Copies of this chain bind each other. A is one copy, B any other.
Amino acid sequence: MIENKLCFDKEGLAAFLSDAFPVAARPALGELAFVKLNHVQLTLEPLPEMARPGNIVSGPALMALIDVAAYAVVLAHIGPVAMAVTHTINVAFLRACRWNTVVADARLIKLGKRLATVDVRLWQGPEEQLIAQSTVGYALP
């Protein structure tokens, strides 16, 4: 097995992601917390347009966060040249997401030549009380 290697540090990846998305989309993307081998973490502060009845964060806002977290950990290991697109995504929503900071934890579980697979988990407060678990497949160029 060829071992994975990091192609970006946190600052480099943050700058690349900031350039890759339109300005209007950036606030919804969260902030990089750290970039490690096979493992990237982001945090998101909910925005007004993410509110749903009961003062919870909307499912689509969480899906967008999952997608950007998966994208970030893939990019961190394939570098700035390549373009990756979401190929499949599966999300299990486990608990309502309250109006607090959301942690998005993305682990690269397979980086193949044509496809990368990422396990993304969301939580608030204790890590063992997951809000959502997601498996994301990214098609590589």
* Size band of the interface chain A makes with B: 35 or more
Q: Are the CB atoms of A22 and B1 closer together than 8 Å?
A: no
Given A85-B96, A89-B63; A25-B130 close (CB under 8 Å) = no
Q: Are the CB atoms of B94 and A86 closer together than 8 Å?
A: no
Stretch at the interface among A5-13, A47-55, A73-81: A47-55
Considering the chains assembled together, what is the distance between the CA atoms of A119 and B92 in angstroms? 11
Q: Are the CB atoms of A60 and B63 closer together than 8 Å?
A: yes
Residues of A within 8 A of B (CB): 1, 20-22, 24-25, 48-54, 58-60, 63-64, 67-68, 83, 85-96, 109-110, 112, 114-115, 117, 119, 129-130, 133, 135, 137
